[in-house]
């Protein structure tokens, strides 16, 4: 498979998912899998609403372009999943941080890791380890700096701790990464068919 074809195929799955009408007409929030569980679902008593879907979509986008989930695939406990969230995204909002009894096992009071070797890699390192390096080893084009910045901007807007601060599906569809990379790749695939 050529590197261009691999890159197009990687983006096709995402583009199709984002442009199919059932996706845009979601009727209720869904929790797709443990690895895509948003932080509000990990704390009892927190309401779940449509921002859950945006979090799950952000995780799904990562899974489509990468070879491993953004949040560790071996996170089998709630504490470890929260540890993964804090490692990648920073300190939890105070209402959750104070409820999390295990917070000082791996983190300082400000949410920084006590020992970086005890927690997983940060955003940039995960992008390199889980997306760039595996893609290159399979002959895929490297994601360029501009695309990488647009992708991370979109994902960081989707994976915000506070549900009300996450991007909406309309904002995701209007994001630079979707408009300049994902959808154009979908059009290239459609032209070939």
Higher per-residue pLDDT: 166 or 66:
166
Compute the mean pLDDT over every residue in the chain, rounded to the nearest whole number.
Answer: 81
Note whether 81 and 37 are within 8 A (CB).
Answer: yes
What is the arithmetic mean of pLDDT over 100-118?
Answer: 87
Look at residue 34 in the predicted model and tell me its pLDDT: 63
Looking at the 3D structure of the chain, how many domains does it have? 1
* Closest alpha carbon to 42 in 110, 118, 101: 101
Domain that holds residue 84: 3-192
The answer for residues whose C-beta is within 8 angstroms of residue 93's C-beta and 6 or more apart is 161, 162
* Closest alpha carbon to 151 in 117, 121, 185: 185
CA-CA distance, 38 to 76, in Å (whole number)? 15
Task: Look at residue 113 and give its three-state secondary structure.
Answer: strand
- 92 backbone φψ class: left, alpha, beta (φ>0; ψ -120 to 50): beta
pLDDT in tens, 171-183: 999 999 999 999 9
Residue 31's CATH number: 1.10.510.10
Higher per-residue pLDDT: 64 or 75:
64
Q: What are the tokens at 35? A: 């690895």
Q: What are the tokens at 101? A: 């009894």
Look at residue 126 in the predicted model and tell me its pLDDT: 85
Residue 33 confidence class, pLDDT cut points 50, 70, 90 = low
CA-CA distance, 107 to 32, in Å (whole number)? 28
What letter does residue 32 receive in the DSSP assignment? -
Q: Does the pLDDT value for residue 4 go beyond 60? A: no
Q: Which phi and psi (to 5°) does residue 113 adopt?
A: -65, 140
């Amino acid at each position: 498979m050529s590197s261009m074809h691999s890159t197009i195929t990687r983006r096709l799955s995402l583009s199709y998912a984002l442009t199919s009408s059932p996706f845009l007409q979601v009727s209720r929030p869904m929790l797709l899998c443990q690895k895509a569980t948003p932080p509000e679902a990990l704390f009892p008593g927190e309401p779940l609403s449509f921002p859950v879907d945006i979090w799950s979509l952000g995780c799904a986008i990562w899974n489509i372009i990468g070879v491993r989930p953004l949040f560790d695939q071996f996170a089998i406990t709630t504490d470890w999943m929260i540890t993964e969230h804090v490692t990648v995204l920073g300190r939890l909002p105070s209402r959750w941080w104070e409820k999390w009894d295990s917070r000082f096992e791996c983190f300082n009071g400000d949410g920084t890791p006590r020992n970086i070797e005890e927690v997983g890699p940060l955003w940039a390192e995960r992008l390199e380890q889980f997306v760039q390096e595996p893609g290159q080893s399979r002959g895929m084009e490297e994601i360029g700096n501009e695309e990488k910045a647009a992708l991370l901007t979109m994902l960081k807007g989707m994976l915000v701790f506070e549900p009300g601060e996450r991007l909406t599906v309309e904002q995701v569809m209007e994001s630079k990464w979707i408009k300049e990379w994902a959808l154009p790749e979908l059009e290239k695939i459609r032209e070939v068919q």
